[in-house]
Amino acid sequence: MRRAFRPFVESAAVFLNAEYATAWLTDVNPDLINLYRALQSESHAFVTSARALCTPEHNRAYAYRARFNRLATPGSAPCGFSI
């Protein structure tokens, strides 16, 4: 593919897994756009900093899933669930 236009980049999963010669990415979330700008210019520093958080003691995803599963009624998600 030669060119991409994404009006709402969101997670950029599609963009990051494709090879475009040029891409125009936009989103209404300024924090998200600033993150992608930082990744453009400081990717090595970002990955080095983020790697420190990718450890078992920082991974709360399984704890959140376990709590959700305890509170959920079989076949439906609880309304207003918060972590």
pLDDT at 70: 83
Q: Which residues of the chain carry a pLDDT beneath 50?
A: 81-83
Give the type of residue at 3: R
Quote the pLDDT of residue 77.
Answer: 53
For residue 76, the model assigns a pLDDT of 57
**Segments of the chain assigned E as strands:** 3-6, 22-25
pLDDT given for residue 11 in this prediction: 74
pTM, two decimals, is 0.46
Give me the pLDDT at residue 83, please: 42
pLDDT given for residue 82 in this prediction: 43
- Contact predicate 34/43, CB 8 Å: no
- C-alpha span between 32 and 27 (Å, rounded): 8
